[in-house]
Amino acid sequence: AAPRTRTDPRGPLAPLRSGIPHPAPRAMDQDYDAIILGTGLKECLLAGLLSVEGMKILHMDRNSYYGGESASLNLRQLWEKFRPGEPEPTHYGRWQDWAFDMVPKFMMGNGLLVRTLVHTSVHNYLQFKAVDGSYVVKGGKTYKVPATDMDALKSSLMGMFEKRRARSFFMYVQDYDETKPDTTKGHNLNVMTSRELFAKFGLQDGTVEFIGHALALNVDDAYLDRPALKMVKAVKLYEESLARFNTGSPYIYPLYGLGELPQGFARLSAVYGGTYMLAKPDVEVTYDPETKRATGVTSEGESARAKFVVGDPSYFPGKTRRIGRVVRAICILSHPIPNCGDAHSVQIILPQAQTGRQSDMYVFGCSWAHNVCAKGKYLAFVSTTVETANPHLEIEPGLALLGHIDEKFINVTDVMTPIADGKEDGCFISAGYDATTHFESTVLDVLDMYTRITGKTLDLSEKDPAAAAAER
């Protein structure tokens, strides 16, 4: 991708703006196949996919910038959001040079989001950098996550005999092929639970913990009593992503922050004729009074009609329910996160058992090397599912890993989910973003919505994700 300038006053949300046309005259007084509300990643991803399907799309947002709940805010926008009335400090340099992800997540190198980027060629609009390391906390210490048979033999997480048992398990996962029944070694993974499979290899609880949480990326221990197939495939995805970039981590991250992703898919939609309208704070969904089915939207006294409406939960009052809350700490540091080899970008997982919680905690770190902050500065995010009435106290174990913190902002958000599937009322609503620091659950929601809308399953196996290989 060509180098981009950062001169637009909106800072990190600016680069792709030139690739998105201005709204057509009388854009509201038209009929569309779909109207999409909100420019979060999920909504922009769907806009791109549906536009490629040949649908006529109108995409609107109440905000004047792209990203919705998953936006990347510059320094000035961050201060306006969390410290209103207080000017952003000048000692952090140009406010345009910062990009704070409101929903910080890395991309699995061989995962669903990368496959979707390649399937739609949106990766051509973006630049990526491999993440330096993936870590797990055990007994108050931070350890590099072993993910292969060779890693297992070198890891300080395990004793000598346990390393051999773990190596056998990793070799089993590496050899497993869903199309070759003999690779199951006689284990019916659709019936055998993860707990039973781990027991077959004689793995200790500590080993099971980092495999289940740091490799398979389960958010709690409920997976242990479910069929092992999903866990094995998740570990295999981690291993394949790790092997793709050979950087010590399975993750990649876009330069200039995650705000680039929704803009990339918005640009795809625009290429296929999609119309965009930002800064529409009064936009509302309209319904047929008899059938109660969505018929379009109104804004500023004008109406647009559509066969169905897509959007994030905030545009559909009464049609969603809260399933939880997520607390995220946004931190500015002047140093790398300690005990991670001075890495510019890391993920650290704190399994639930290590903190005495019901769900895992995640630390996400990136730096000026990703063009998201001033040179010499680092960003760190700590996130988890809220379990008490004091969410700011719940993230203390993650914050304790960061060393000295220059600035800290706490953001607590509701995780909403639609009550219905949208087929009856024509309202296809995305779910909120969970606490995880990867995109697998995010894209699964999008693919499910795509199938409900089109009746088709999106085939992401056509192109090789190596096309989106990270730069070193």
Q: Which two tokens stand for residue 307?
A: 């066969």
Sequence-distant (6+) residues with CB within 8 A of 78 are: 88, 98, 100, 330, 409
463 vs 468, which has greater pLDDT? 463
Quote the CA–CA distance of 457 and 181 in Å, as a whole number.
25
Does the pLDDT of residue 471 top 60, yes or no? no
Going by pLDDT thresholds of 50, 70 and 90, the confidence category of residue 73 is very high
User: How much is the pLDDT for 9?
Assistant: 32
Q: Cβ-count burial of 164 within 10 angstroms (0-12 exposed, 13-18 middle, 19+ buried)?
A: middle
pLDDT tens-place string over residues 366-393: 999 999 999 999 999 999 999 999 999 9
Q: Which helix (H) or strand (E) holds 234?
A: helix 229-245
User: How much is the pLDDT for 232?
Assistant: 95
Q: Which two tokens stand for residue 31?
A: 């009929």
| Residue 332 contacts residue 377 (beta carbons within 8 Å) | yes
First and final CA of the chain: distance in angstroms?
Answer: 15
The full DSSP string for 20-75 is SPPPPTT-SSSEEEEEEE--SHHHHHHHHHHHHTT--EEEE-SSSSS-GGG-EE-H
pLDDT tens-place string over residues 323-338: 999 999 999 999 999 9
CA 80 to each of CA 76, 86, 278, 360: distance values in angstroms, whole numbers, following the listed order:
6, 7, 19, 30
DSSP strand pairing (141-144 vs 251-254) = unpaired
Does the pLDDT of residue 131 top 50, yes or no? yes
Does the pLDDT of residue 404 top 80, yes or no? yes
Q: 33-36 long-range CB contacts below 8 Å, 24 or more apart?
A: 33/57, 33/306, 33/307, 33/308, 34/58, 34/306, 34/307, 34/308, 34/309, 34/310, 34/453, 35/59, 35/60, 35/296, 35/297, 35/304, 35/306, 35/309, 35/310, 36/60, 36/309, 36/310, 36/311
Does the pLDDT of residue 8 top 70, yes or no? no
User: How much is the pLDDT for 463?
Assistant: 58
User: How much is the pLDDT for 158?
Assistant: 81
Nearest to 405 by CA among 382, 432, 422, 372: 382
Q: Cβ-count burial of 27 within 10 angstroms (0-12 exposed, 13-18 middle, 19+ buried)?
A: middle
| Residue 277 contacts residue 84 (beta carbons within 8 Å) | no
pTM above 0.95, yes or no: no
Quote the CA–CA distance of 241 and 249 in Å, as a whole number.
8
Sequence-distant (6+) residues with CB within 8 A of 340 are: 132, 133, 135, 142, 346, 348, 365
Quote the CA–CA distance of 203 and 224 in Å, as a whole number.
13
Does the pLDDT of residue 14 top 70, yes or no? no
User: How much is the pLDDT for 147?
Assistant: 67
329 vs 130, which has greater pLDDT? 329
| Residue 311 contacts residue 68 (beta carbons within 8 Å) | no
pLDDT tens-place string over residues 143-192: 888 767 677 777 778 888 888 999 999 999 999 998 898 898 889 999 99
Q: Which two tokens stand for residue 356?
A: 């005495």
Does the pLDDT of residue 27 top 90, yes or no? no
| Residue 235 contacts residue 173 (beta carbons within 8 Å) | yes
Q: Tell me what the mean pLDDT of segment 82-105 comes to.
A: 95
Mean pLDDT over the full length of the chain: 88
